[in-house]
Structure 1
Amino acid sequence: MDRTFHPRSRRIAPLVATVAASALLIAGCSSGSGGKKAEESGTNASAGKANTPRMTVALVTHAPPGDTFWDTVRKGAVAAAAKDNIKLVYSSDPNAGTQANLVQNAIDQKVDGIAITLAKPDAMKDVVSKARKAGIPVVGLNSGLSDWKKLGLTEFFGQDESVAGEAFGNKLNTTGAKKIACVIHEQGNVGLTQRCNGVKKTFKGTTETLYVNGTDMPSVKSTITAKLKQDSAIDHVVTLGAPFALTAVQSVTDAGSKAKVATFDLNKDLVKGVQDGSIEFAVDQQPYLQGYLAVDSLWLYKNNGNYSGGGVQPVLTGPAFVDKTNVATVAKFAAKGTR
């Protein structure tokens, strides 16, 4: 992976510590969206299973239906659950209020641990407090790096979205980009806003923010197409998820634009896009690792009292760039659905 970006020096020490913690966790040790309905998984273990007492862990995310990114997160969680003799109950909903209700359901079921995303942290504050009062440890993943400690979560696994955005902006500077459209597919999602703000902070050209309805892909396509037709000066479309990047490629063609597409996040088809040149580059935050570490951390906490990052620092799973120089290495893992 290309990790040549250089965040400000004051951030380097925490990053080193958390990456080291992540490595220790790894050494120690399904496709489709869950929707509103919780589903049990954690079977078909390919490796030895822990002989510790059976645990139940709830993984509750803000995943919208059909977003392949979350299939990868879930696959990592399933793998950890199978190894650790955990019954994994997965549920998701992009509506913050409904997601909070799903967490409450997990509390009512008296699970042994909860892993959640904090795309809209204010909506999760009360229910996280209820879990803590019930004696249920809660860890965060993917979204909420700025808020996990405020809400009292024990650990967090993901990437610093601001740092990732700044790295992305610096990468754009090397491509000769002059004007970009940063496409936000979910208004109010703090992580997505941080990505675009980070890009704008370091990118030397002009940045415009374009909001689209991420739950309606035909609308995403038409909105990006219209923007490109209206402003021919846009030379790069920056998307914040793999499905939106692939749709943006279609928009570029429909608009008769010469804009290039670069994105955050990967899936199997996105990797093919990097290989064939339709996608310039992508940032990988390793969603499989996020799901795996979140579930595994709850097993470690239950059985050993372990804290990754000492309960103070997050465990960073990204960012790393994927482009023509290293996509061949990533492709073999993407084909298995683990990148």
Structure 2
Amino acid sequence: MNTPLPARRLPGSRRPVRLAALAAACCLLLAGCSDASSGAGAADRTGDRIRITLVTHGGKGDAFWELVRKGAEAAAAKDGVELTYASDADAAGQAELVRDAVRDGVDGIAVTLAKPQAMKSPVAEADAAGIPVVGLNSGIDAWRATGLLEYFGQDESVAGRAVGDKLDALGARHALCVIHERGNIALEARCAGVKKSFAGTTEMLYVDGTDMTAMTTAVTARLRQEPGVDEVVTNGAQFALAAVRAAGTADSEAEVATFDLNEDLVDAVRDGGVQFAVDQQPYLQGYLAVDALWLYRTNGNVSGGGVAPVLTGPAFVTKTNVAEVARFAAAGTR
């Protein structure tokens, strides 16, 4: 069986790997000890768990980020990793959380890059401390320049263009693309992609995503002002459901489509209230980010060779395939 090399440390490791002979002896003594190729087995033999911190820009209680967290926790459980999750929607606050992880001397950090400029300094501090950092969810055009080792997520520009093409196929003529966080590069890229490929008119509407009442009011007002809008595109499941209510209040015949989904949104697609959703698979993003750091620390693996992102989307959820997605959504993983 494979055993760790004696006294060898991967870049940035704070703890020397135990001698192979000692690991083998422990394996003989412990009943049911798994092979060294298993993360949990390796952690059991060394008694020294890898510590990883996941830092996102997600808002507290957001269902989307709970899926990211669930995926990360599943990977951590499989690999025997000690996982810490932290989030702050404010870029400066998120940067400070990354610095906290660096000061704590963790073995790896996974971070979202909604506002990449704010992350450059803390990522550089992690690099100087020998701590590998991978990216997920947002920042596909900035992860390499920011100094990250790997990236897991959706190409938002590609996803946006795919939505624009779909709107053309559906015969839409005037789309309202709702951005709930100004300056978030992922949301901006999505709507820019829609505008680039959609043959009709694409209009951006900026709203405050932290105030659902204000967001709904803003969409309602715009639909009343511009009755020609026949499609509302949102950037989150909860915003799509709010847009459906707004269209009803405004007596608008506009259809609603969205990026991202949750269990309630799956029901809305099944019932026809929402035309379609684009799934970037947040559970998978969290899972792959944690698993990648474990693989790097234990085996030196780098997904994508460090030069190409690992894509998790876009995947369209429509009435034709929603039943299959609903099965996983009910289990809390989609």
Kindly provide the amino acid, as one letter, of the partner of residue 240 in structure 2.
A
How far apart, in 1, do the equivalents of 2:105 and 2:69 lie? 21
Match of 1:258 in 2: 253
- Answer yes or no: is 1:55 the counterpart of 2:50: yes
Kindly provide the amino acid, as one letter, of the partner of residue 192 in structure 2.
N
- Answer yes or no: is 1:292 the counterpart of 2:283: no
Once the 2 structures are TM-superposed, how far is the Cα of residue 50 of structure 1 from its aligned partner? 3.8
Write the mapping of 1:108-257 to structure 2, written as runs, cut at 5 A.
108-257=103-252
How far apart, in 2, do the equivalents of 1:183 and 1:220 lie? 9
**Residue deviations 1:4-53 (CA, integer Å, cap 9, x gap):** xxxxxxxxxxxxxxxxxxxxxxxxxxxxxxxxxxxxxxxxxxx9934334
Match of 2:10 in 1: none
How far apart, in 2, do the equivalents of 1:89 and 1:63 lie? 15
Match of 1:97 in 2: 92
Kindly provide the amino acid, as one letter, of the partner of residue 80 in structure 1.
A
Once the 2 structures are TM-superposed, how far is the Cα of residue 238 of structure 1 from its aligned partner? 0.2
Q: Is the 8 A contact 2:257 2:276 kept in 1?
A: yes
Q: Is the 8 A contact 2:39 2:80 kept in 1?
A: no
Match of 1:41 in 2: none
Once the 2 structures are TM-superposed, how far is the Cα of residue 90 of structure 1 from its aligned partner? 0.5
How far apart, in 2, do the equivalents of 1:152 and 1:223 lie? 38
Match of 1:37 in 2: none
- State which of 303, 306, 311 in structure 2 corresponds to 1:308: 303
How far apart, in 2, do the equivalents of 1:105 and 1:99 lie? 10
How far apart, in 2, do the equivalents of 1:56 and 1:95 lie? 24
Aligned length: 293
Q: Is the 8 A contact 2:152 2:288 kept in 1?
A: yes
How far apart, in 1, do the equivalents of 2:97 and 2:329 lie? 30
Write the mapping of 1:266-285 to structure 2, written as runs, cut at 5 A.
266-285=261-280
Kindly provide the amino acid, as one letter, of the partner of residue 199 in structure 2.
K
Once the 2 structures are TM-superposed, how far is the Cα of residue 230 of structure 1 from its aligned partner? 0.7
Q: Which has the higher contact order (CA 8 A, sep 6+)?
A: 1
How far apart, in 2, do the equivalents of 1:171 and 1:142 lie? 23
Once the 2 structures are TM-superposed, how far is the Cα of residue 267 of structure 1 from its aligned partner? 0.4
Match of 2:28 in 1: none
- TM-score of the aligned structures, taking structure 1 as reference length: 0.85
Q: Is the 8 A contact 1:77 1:291 kept in 2?
A: yes
Q: Is the 8 A contact 1:275 1:324 kept in 2?
A: yes
How far apart, in 2, do the equivalents of 1:180 and 1:199 lie? 9
Once the 2 structures are TM-superposed, how far is the Cα of residue 152 of structure 1 from its aligned partner? 1.2
- SS of the residue corresponding to residue 51 of structure 1 reads helix
Once the 2 structures are TM-superposed, how far is the Cα of residue 66 of structure 1 from its aligned partner? 2.6
Structure with bigger gyration radius = 2
How far apart, in 2, do the equivalents of 1:254 and 1:86 lie? 49
Q: Is the 8 A contact 1:144 1:191 kept in 2?
A: yes
How far apart, in 1, do the equivalents of 2:282 and 2:200 lie? 30
Gaps of 5+ in 2: 1-37
Distance 1:217 1:50, change over 3 A: farther
**Residue deviations 1:165-220 (CA, integer Å, cap 9, x gap):** 00010011111100010000000000100000000000000010000000000001
Kindly provide the amino acid, as one letter, of the partner of residue 49 in structure 1.
A
- TM-score of the aligned structures, taking structure 2 as reference length: 0.87
C-alpha RMSD of the superposition: 1.0
- SS of the residue corresponding to residue 187 of structure 2 reads helix
Q: Is the 8 A contact 1:158 1:285 kept in 2?
A: yes
